[in-house]
Amino acid sequence: MYWRKNCGIVGSLTFTLACFAATAAAKQPTKQEIVEHYAKAVVLVERLTVGESVKVQGSGVFYSPTRIVTNAHVIGDIPENRETVERVYMDTDLSRAVFWVTFLGKKYKARLVGRDPDLDLAILEIDHAVDGVRPARFGDSGKCAAGHEVYVFGNPLGMENSVTSGIVSGKERRIGMLSYEELIQTDAPINPGNSGGALVSMETGELLGIPNSKIPFADNMGFAVPINLFRDIEPQLQGTIKHSWLGISFPGPKFTDSEGFQGLKAIHELTGANHLEVLDGIRREVFDKDKGGVLVTNVMRAHVDKLYAILASDGENAAAEATARTPPALKAGFELGDVITKFGEFEIKRDLDLIRAIFRSKPRETLPVRIVRFDSTDKRTEVVLMVTPIVRNPDGVAGGFY
């Protein structure tokens, strides 16, 4: 399972954690020491892919003497439509790509180890230890809070060894760029080329995130992938990680019951339910602080051609799934108005809990999902559905369905 803690993690990540443990008891570094350290950890990454006329540049961070974490979009974007899906950025294309890492003025050829386009993370590896490298020290991104002072290291517009500073502006941000997001927001300037660099605590010198985007035409709004997500998936980053898909949609974070009646109205609009008793039962279930859950607002009835454009290339099982054209949620018996309260082993209180649980599950492995239903008499019933997720199409979450 992708994000399950693994006491047996070895190799490059173990090296980084050992380095962190060895220095944890030492005094906190000065700001100058932090800047000097990351000048020997952050690199310029260049991609030359067959068929591309423009060289792509970004940043990366050594987290071991040979391995570099960067953004998946620096390595190669996932296609956005059927016309490009077989032409660029698939694994076969990336196997022909050439990656160059510039460190202290010298260039080193690197190979792609793995990528997760849904989290916008990837690993490059150089075939030998590079002299002078000082690997980044991982921090705990879950503990950083708004107001925490940070540096951003990278190569904006190809300008090597650039550093900016600011604060953490917020956490668990979702801006609609990725299928899974709980981004760290910062006001430290981030520009093209900073992608894949380092968001670093100004207090401890620990790596907190990997900058990956900014909001166009908005000042002081940059975002980074939390380093805890990378630590969780690093052992699985071999090739392109494939995530699960069910075929359901649900409300986002703005779905709130601020005044009671507004909650009833929103539920009616989302589900079509008309019975006041049903609406009130769902409202109590979703918004009660002692209960909570995620409301199912749509169940996909059938796959469309674009959604399964390339599944046939993922093996015999995927070809059969594409032929069947029945989404897993529909097969399992999900209905509009269901309230999901547990997904596999994870309790579900809000939509981000459910998204996390879906992304932690493995395609084609059946798991139980506990739901709550209400009939027209306001009778509350708990039901356990068995669902078998399938591999999600690389076009992303089609039409808001997970």
Q: Is residue 4 part of a domain?
A: no
Query: Which residue among 240, 270, 297 closes a domain?
Result: 240
Following DSSP, what letter does each residue of 40-103 receive, concatenated?
TTEEEEEEE-TT-SS-EEEEEEESSSSEEEE-HHHH-PPPSSHHHHTTSSSHHHHTT-EEEEEE
Using an 8 Å Cβ cutoff, are 223 and 213 in contact?
Answer: yes
Confirm whether 132 is domain-assigned: yes
CA distances from 223 to 189, 206, 211 (A): 10, 17, 6
Within-domain flag for 367? yes
* Amino acid of residue 253: P
Residues 213 and 287 grouped into a single domain: no
- Which positions of the chain have pLDDT values less than 70? 1-26, 49-55, 77-96, 216-218, 257-259, 302-325, 393-399
pLDDT tens, position by position, 20-61:
444 444 578 899 999 999 999 999 998 876 555 556 789 999
User: Among the options 12, 59, 118, 120, which is catalytic?
Assistant: 120
What pLDDT does 314 receive? 52
Out of 141, 195, 201, 249, which one is annotated catalytic? 195
**195: annotated active-site residue:** yes
Check whether residue 118 and residue 264 sit in a common domain. no
CA distance 43 to 72: 15
pLDDT of residue 264: 83
Among 209, 240, 271, the domain-final residue is 240
Query: Residue 116 has what pLDDT?
Result: 86
Is the domain of 154 the same as that of 22? yes
Instruction: Give me the pLDDT at residue 77, please.
Output: 59
Q: Which of 12, 59, 73, 162 is catalytic?
A: 73
Pairing status of strand 339-343 against strand 367-374: antiparallel
Does the residue 322 lie in any domain?
yes
Q: Which range of residues forms the domain containing residue 312?
A: 244-400
H-state helical runs in 298-379: 316-324, 328-332, 351-360
- In sequence order, the 6+-apart residues with CB closer than 8 A to the CB of 53 are none
Rounded Cα distance, 276 and 158, in Å: 59
Q: Following CA atoms 155, 156, 161, 164 in sequence, which dihedral angle do they give, to the nearest 10 degrees?
A: -130
Under a CB-based contact definition with an 8 Å cutoff, are residues 119 and 71 in contact?
no
Q: Tell which residue, 395, 302, 293, has the closest CA to residue 348.
A: 293
102 within domain boundaries: yes
Distances (CA, A) of 247 to 74, 206, 299, 357: 29, 39, 6, 14
Whether residue 7 is contained in a domain is answered as no
96 and 234: one domain?
A: yes
395 part of the active site: no
Annotation says 257 is catalytic: no
168 plus 214 within the same structural domain: yes
Instruction: Identify whether residues 266 and 283 lie together within a single domain.
Output: yes
User: Do 260 and 311 share a domain, yes or no?
Assistant: yes
Helix 276-287 and helix 261-271, axial crossing angle in degrees, nearest 10:
110
In angstroms and rounded to an integer, the radius of gyration of the C-alpha atoms of the chain is 23
Q: Do 231 and 284 have their domain in common? A: no
Q: Which amino acid is it at 168?
A: V
Q: Are residues 111 and 200 in the same domain?
A: yes
How many structural domains does the chain have?
A: 2
The residue among 210, 240, 270 that closes a domain is 240
Same domain, 231 and 292: no
State the pTM of this model.
0.77
Domain of residue 156, CATH code: 2.40.10.120
